[in-house]
Amino acid sequence: MLVGLSLSQSAPPQTACPATAPLHLTEVEYQDTAAKDTGLGFMAPLVQSFLHTVQPDPFPEEIILKTINSYPQATSDQELIKEALVYEVGFLVCAAIGVLYIVLMPIVGFFLACCRCCGNCGGRMYQKQTSSIDCRRRTLYWSTLVTTLIILAGNICMFRSNEALKVSVDETPVQLNKTLDNIQTFLTAVPQQIQDVIDESNKTIQEVTRNLDDIGPKLGAEVQRRFTGTLDQALLPVRRLNQETRSISVQLKELNSSLARLQSSMDRVQGNITDVKTRINRTLSKPQCPVCADLKAELQTQTLDIAVTITIPSELQSAVDEVIRINLTARVEEVESFFDSIPQTVADETKDMVRKSKQQLGEVQTQISEISTKIPLTSLTKTSESLSQVHGQINIVTAEVKNYEYIRWGVCVALCCVVLLVVVCNLLGLVLGPLGLTPSADPTKRSCTSDCGGTFLVMGAGFSFLFSWLFMIVVVLLFLVGGNVYVLVCRPWNDGQLLKFIDSTNLSTQITQTLGLETKISLSDIYRDCEENKPVWTTLHLNELINLDEVLNVSKYTEQIKKEFENTDIPLSTINLLSPEVKNQLSSFSSKANDLDSSAFTQQINNVSRINLNTTADKLELAATQVDAATGEELRSEASDLRKIQANIESTIIPQLENLNSSVKSLQSMMEEINGTVGEVLRNVGVAQDFLNTNTTQIIKTESMKFLDCQLGYFITYADWAKLAITQEVGRCQPIAGALNSAEIIVCQYVVQSLNAFWCSLGWCLIFFIPSIILSIKLAKYYRRMKRSDVYDEHVVITNIPRAHMKIP
């Protein structure tokens, strides 16, 4: 039995529980919302530094909350208005400076024009010539040039910021659509991923259901595998014994046939020998043969009998026939039929258990499906529908925005060109003035080129007076709008104060109530978690809404299935591999196989082989020479007949004897092997029978538990994966944080930054218009043609004229 057990367990193990396919969630791909460089990075620090100086105070949470809570009475709350004005004091001061610029610039320009018309403020075309005139001209020239270049730099920044604002407006719908698409994708992906988890449970249940439906082939095959080694070891020698027995039977039939043919040949030869022997005796008995008496006595001593008495033991033949009648092939087929019927037996005996297990699987499927109902996916659906409407509105508004943007861009280009006109006038004056100026020439005789240069300088100052105050209105308005948006929105948005302010409102409470949570969650917490790409399970504290351990705890159902398996009995009918009668017959056959003795056959064959009739024929021929002719002729004829008989023996009898000898030896060898084969059959069949009688029930229970563990393993694998997927993979919300970041990029980096850069560049130019006007007007007089001359010769020697002295008498 131990040998049988070792043999049965030495068979190569097979995979009773195949590996399941890897579980997966739907992969989500989002669009790239990386910010496009507007080219205004160099202006941002300058503008932000200025705005930080104008408004260094932190985000006014209290003022905004009071305004929201007391709206619309906030417009009449003097204390609140006072707090707001105190907070905006920096902007108000700057706006006051701008208003002062707006008021004073046209007034100063008007009075300056009137003064010049009256001949004052450089209006009189007379220039006093002094020794320092060249130094003053150069000083004014370089100062004007530097001022003009500064204005030109600001004008270039105006052009760039205007173009950047245009690019920002063009990119805003694109970025906004990408952002909304990403949010839409996220909102769509979360329910899909939840559905993927449920679908995987359906796949798992379907797989287990298929395995239960195929429990016969699957479980039966495993039981068969456990029996395969032992039964193969038992049936293999039975098949070999059956084959050897049939070979022996065939060999015995051939041997009997050979013996019959040999006996026929022997009888014929023996008759010939007897006939010749009679004739020899008659010839030797004649009186005419004086030497025949001696020869006759000698011939009597020689053996001329070739009879062979070879027979097969009848007991051996009957034993072989008895084994053939046993029909070992039918016994093997019966065992194989029993072996092949195991799957069907398993299927028949487990029908009720399979039915009840399927009912439990249906309850498991219903329980897992509750995940989608307990997670608030309807809120995501409503949000997705709202986003779809917003998306459609954006597409409608985009066309109108592009039309207004084209107008804005044209107006800003006009502003930039006016500032550029002032710069061009100054540069033409700075170029033409020195080109046409001859320092030693009379101021009334200056060239037209020099006069044109001075005129361009005066034109630049005039254009500055004419447009600067109008442009300052634009600067003040854009400054108040863009500056406050940066201070109240962009700066707190960047440092997180805006989210904290929103958290201080009722929004967090509304989110908590909408989701039905106990823990209050804030927008800052959501944003922080989404920046770390955490799943919605962690971000929204969904563990308060659904007990995932309970939903995915299928042990109460699997325990019931396990009980059904344990209570199910799969009986296999007892089979006797070989009955006791068959074993006795095989043992008898093994003992009778030793009755075949080939030595007697060999001895008789050797006896026949020693017969030599040629010797007798030689003696007869010798005697024929000593007798009369008639007797000698008879002796010679008889000697010839003996030689013919000897030749016949050698050509027919001897080969048959040798063939018979070989067959007998082969049969004896086969009979000797039969003993070992029968012994192996009896041993292996005994071990296999004991193994079946002792271990069949245990094998069925063991393999049943393995099959059950395999099916339950599917659920364990799924439950672990589902818990991991829902808590760590479903709804990674980085797109939400990306949407907020994109909104900040769109509002602050695109629009506000470009807008602030434009008014800062324009204000920069307008501020430097003031020194440009002063320096241009002063420098123009050094290039324009004067109406009256004032000649100064530095080589004239002035001598003191002596005073007259009054004499006092």
Which residues are CB-neighbours of 196 under 8 A, at least 6 positions away? Answer: 24, 25, 26, 725
- Higher local confidence (pLDDT), 376 or 482: 482
Q: What is the mean pLDDT of residues 768-796?
A: 73
Closest CA to 744 of 234, 176, 69: 176
pLDDT value of residue 12:
38
Q: How far apart are CA 567 and CA 569, in angstroms?
A: 6
Domain 231-338+572-706 has CATH 1.10.530: no
pLDDT value of residue 696:
75
Whether the predicted pLDDT of 568 surpasses 90: no
pTM check: above 0.75: no
Task: Choose the weakest-confidence range: 1-5, 152-156, 315-319, 560-564.
Answer: 1-5
Whether the predicted pLDDT of 477 surpasses 90: yes
pLDDT in tens, 76-133: 677 888 888 888 888 999 999 999 999 998 898 888 778 767 766 655 555 566 666 7
Number of Cβ within 10 Å of residue 661's Cβ equals 18
Whether the predicted pLDDT of 493 surpasses 70: yes
pLDDT value of residue 15:
42
Whether the predicted pLDDT of 798 surpasses 60: no
pLDDT value of residue 346:
78
Q: DSSP state, 788?
A: B
Q: What is the mean pLDDT of residues 322-338?
A: 74
pLDDT value of residue 498:
82
Which 3-state string (H, E, C) describes 325-381?
Answer: HHCHHHHHHHHHHHHHCHHHHHHHHCHHHHHHHHHHHHHHHHHHHHHHHHCCHHHHH
Task: Choose the weakest-confidence range: 513-517, 651-655, 740-744.
Answer: 513-517
* φ, ψ at 303 (rounded to 5°): -90, 120
Whether the predicted pLDDT of 423 surpasses 90: yes
Q: How confident is the model at residue 481 (pLDDT cuts 50, 70, 90)?
A: very high
Q: How confident is the model at residue 508 (pLDDT cuts 50, 70, 90)?
A: low
- Higher local confidence (pLDDT), 31 or 442: 31
Which residues are CB-neighbours of 45 under 8 A, at least 6 positions away? Answer: none
Closest CA to 469 of 159, 102, 109, 163: 102
Helix, strand, coil content of the chain in percent (nearest 5): 80, 0, 20
- Higher local confidence (pLDDT), 789 or 61: 61
pLDDT value of residue 760:
92
Q: What is the mean pLDDT of residues 784-800?
A: 53
pLDDT in tens, 216-241: 787 777 877 877 777 777 777 777 77
pLDDT value of residue 112:
79
Task: Choose the weakest-confidence range: 119-133, 439-453, 467-481.
Answer: 119-133
Q: What is the mean pLDDT of residues 730-737?
A: 83
Q: What is the mean pLDDT of residues 628-645?
A: 80
The per-residue pLDDT of the chain, averaged, comes to 77
pLDDT value of residue 795:
43
Over its C-alpha atoms, the chain yields an Rg (Å, rounded) of 64
Cα torsion 292, 295, 300, 303: sign: negative
pLDDT value of residue 29:
79
pLDDT in tens, 235-261: 777 777 777 777 777 777 777 777 777
Task: Give the percent of the chain with pLDDT over 90.
Answer: 10
Whether the predicted pLDDT of 440 surpasses 50: yes
pLDDT value of residue 514:
66
- Higher local confidence (pLDDT), 415 or 175: 415
Whether the predicted pLDDT of 799 surpasses 50: no
- Could you write out the DSSP letters of every residue in 237-304? HHHHHHHHHHHHHHHHHHHHHHHHHHHHHHHHHHHHHHHHHHHHHHHHT-TT-TTHHHHHHHHHHS--
Q: How far apart are CA 69 and CA 456, in angstroms?
A: 59
pLDDT value of residue 591:
66
- Higher local confidence (pLDDT), 128 or 385: 385
Task: Choose the weakest-confidence range: 1-5, 368-372, 686-690.
Answer: 1-5
Task: Check: CB of residue 752 under 8 Å from CB of residue 485.
Answer: yes
pLDDT value of residue 794:
45
| Structure tokens belonging to residue 549 | 């351990």
Q: How confident is the model at residue 308 (pLDDT cuts 50, 70, 90)?
A: low
pLDDT in tens, 706-716: 887 887 787 77
- Higher local confidence (pLDDT), 181 or 510: 181
pLDDT value of residue 796:
44
- Higher local confidence (pLDDT), 428 or 322: 428
